Amino acid sequence: MFDTNTISRFNTLETPFYYYDLGLLYQTLNACITAADKYGFHVHYAMKANFNPKVLAAVQSVGFGADCVSGNEVSAAIANGFDKSKIVFAGVGKSDREINTALDADIFCFNVESIQELNIINELAKAKNKVARVAIRINPNVDAHTHHFITTGLDENKFGINGWQLNEVADTLRKCANLQFVGIHFHIGSQITDLEVYKSLCVRINEMQDWFEDHGFQVKVLNTGGGLGVDYHNPDQNPVPDFEGYFKVFKDFLHIKSGQEVHFELGRALVAQSASLISRVLYVKNGQKKNFLILDAGMTELIRPMLYQAYMKIENLTREFENESQISNLKSQILKYDVVGPICESTDCFQKDVELPESFRGDLIAVRTAGAYGEVMASRYNLRDGIQSVYSD
Ligand code: LLP
């Protein structure tokens, strides 16, 4: 929901740009921290969701750790003031250079995704005369009930170590003198809206921690990953996710032993609702079968709808603002449009058959809930300009 001052401000700016509502961002971060603190849970922000420096500054200021998936993310977390002892590093393909970056930084822990990787981290740590803390990322084979492109915890996915390899993991850990086992790590997928899924994950985590304890390993950390979803359909009604309900599932269903730490890696839930992509209608094409709204933003600025068939709410800010100030019987008629971008690809379509007030060249269009995996996935394809950001402050 944008107020009239904000829309007037947009009217003076060149489009497209991401607009960040920093007030909502802080409100969301604080809601999450409050809910996590209730149970003493630790949250690492999944930086991949958005590494815009203003967003990182906000996340860091409320005390979250950082969940990184590249050496550059580790370096950026440190440069942005995140505590090294609260940095975790995951990823199926960590290069030697990236591992060395993380070893030099003495990060809290590597989330290790294969037995071969365990051996390589051990070798590189040995060369530096260091001991690397590691958690084993286990593929729990739990279906996240989300889009198959963003499911990660099934046997068919490339992530993590499968249950049948655990004996070999235990042998490797025993013989690697430069590794210190700290715990187990999971991540089953993203945009998970059915909390029941997390109950199934808890059952698997409990089984796995028993396995490690039975084989003589103390499990200090249970890292449950991220994935909590947001309401893409009703951003104004549900701007802040249900962090309380989410953490309560883990409190109720995990067997948390005394002295054990429970870690989370939330990305989307913390940042998605706080940004929108703002663009303008360049052209309106009225066809016999279809009407097209051609925007000045496309898949180069926001690729989620094209890559994952993701729904993201589209609004015509100019007409809605106008309608608000008119009496209801003067409201402009509603039409159906395919809302598309300018890129030379047929897939460059935000959404088909969107019902919008009759729209015209120059109207401001918002694509809502774009704060996660939006700006950070932008590209320069077609040699487009880089995307700009505008902030509520
Ligand atoms: N931890 C690990 C190991 C992950 O791989 C991810 C996300 C997260 C945490 C954070 O997940 P979140 O809380 O944000 O769901 N680009 C896709 C989403 C890819 C998610 C990748 N991994 C999208 O736009 O839907």
Atom index in ligand 1 nearest the CA of residue 373 equals 24
Query: For residues 228 and 246, what is the distance between their CA atoms, to the nearest angstrom?
Result: 8
* Bridge partners for 338 per DSSP: 292
Q: For residue range 181-194, what is the model confidence (pLDDT) as tens digits?
A: 999 999 999 999 99
Count Cα atoms within 13 angstroms, Cβ side, for 73. 21
Nearest CA to ligand 1 atom 6: 226
Nearest CA to ligand 1 atom 20: 190
Count Cα atoms within 13 angstroms, Cβ side, for 138. 27
| 228, pLDDT greater than 70 | yes
Residue 49 CA to ligand 1 center (angstroms) comes to: 7
pLDDT mean over 339-359: 97
Residue 338 CA to ligand 1 center (angstroms) comes to: 28
Atom index in ligand 1 nearest the CA of residue 189 equals 15
Residue where a domain stops, chosen among 272, 304, 326: 272
Per-residue pLDDT band at 244 (split at 50, 70, 90): very high
pLDDT mean over 307-314: 97
Residue where a domain stops, chosen among 272, 290, 320: 272
Residue 289 CA to ligand 1 center (angstroms) comes to: 38
- Where in the sequence is the domain holding 323, given as residue range(s)? 4-17+273-391
| 327, pLDDT greater than 60 | no
What are the tokens at 222? 């249970």
Are 57 and 68 contained in the same domain? Answer: yes
What is the sign, positive or negative, of the torsion defined by CA atoms of 207, 211, 213, 217? negative
Q: For residue range 360-393, what is the model confidence (pLDDT) as tens digits?
A: 999 999 999 999 999 999 999 999 999 999 999 9
What are the tokens at 158? 């490339």
Query: For residues 185 and 169, what is the distance between their CA atoms, to the nearest angstrom?
Result: 14
* Bridge partners for 37 per DSSP: none
Q: What is the pLDDT of residue 289?
A: 85
Residue 227 CA to ligand 1 center (angstroms) comes to: 6
Instruction: Output the domain CATH number for residue 323.
Output: 2.40.37.10
Query: For residues 137 and 117, what is the distance between their CA atoms, to the nearest angstrom?
Result: 11
Residue 349 CA to ligand 1 center (angstroms) comes to: 23
Q: What is the pLDDT of residue 154?
A: 67
Per-residue pLDDT band at 205 (split at 50, 70, 90): very high
| Percent of the chain residues topping a pLDDT of 70 | 95
From 29, 32, 44, 48, give the residue whose CB has the most ligand 1 atoms within 8 Å, as the site to mutate: 48
Are 340 and 253 contained in the same domain? Answer: no
Are 298 and 179 contained in the same domain? Answer: no
Q: How far is CA 167 from the centre of its chain?
A: 32
| 263, pLDDT greater than 60 | yes
Q: What is the pLDDT of residue 51?
A: 98
Q: What is the pLDDT of residue 321?
A: 72
| 328, pLDDT greater than 60 | no
Residue 35 CA to ligand 1 center (angstroms) comes to: 21
- Domain tally for the chain? 2
Residue where a domain stops, chosen among 254, 272, 290: 272
Are 300 and 379 contained in the same domain? Answer: yes
Residue 268 CA to ligand 1 center (angstroms) comes to: 7
Are 212 and 115 contained in the same domain? Answer: yes
Q: What is the pLDDT of residue 322?
A: 73
Are 204 and 338 contained in the same domain? Answer: no
Nearest CA to ligand 1 atom 16: 373
| 172, pLDDT greater than 70 | yes
Look up residue 342 and give its DSSP letter: S
pTM across the whole model: 0.95
Per-residue pLDDT band at 287 (split at 50, 70, 90): confident
What mean pLDDT, rounded, does the chain reach? 94
Residue 328 CA to ligand 1 center (angstroms) comes to: 42
Q: What is the pLDDT of residue 326?
A: 58
Atom index in ligand 1 nearest the CA of residue 137 equals 3
Q: Which residues line ligand 1 (CB under 6 A)?
A: 46, 49, 67, 90, 150, 187, 190-191, 225-228, 265-269, 304, 308, 372-373
| 330, pLDDT greater than 60 | no
* Bridge partners for 18 per DSSP: 277, 389
| 150, pLDDT greater than 70 | no
Per-residue pLDDT band at 145 (split at 50, 70, 90): confident
| 304, pLDDT greater than 70 | yes
From 265, 273, 274, 308, give the residue whose CB has the most ligand 1 atoms within 8 Å, as the site to mutate: 265
Instruction: Output the domain CATH number for residue 62.
Output: 3.20.20.10
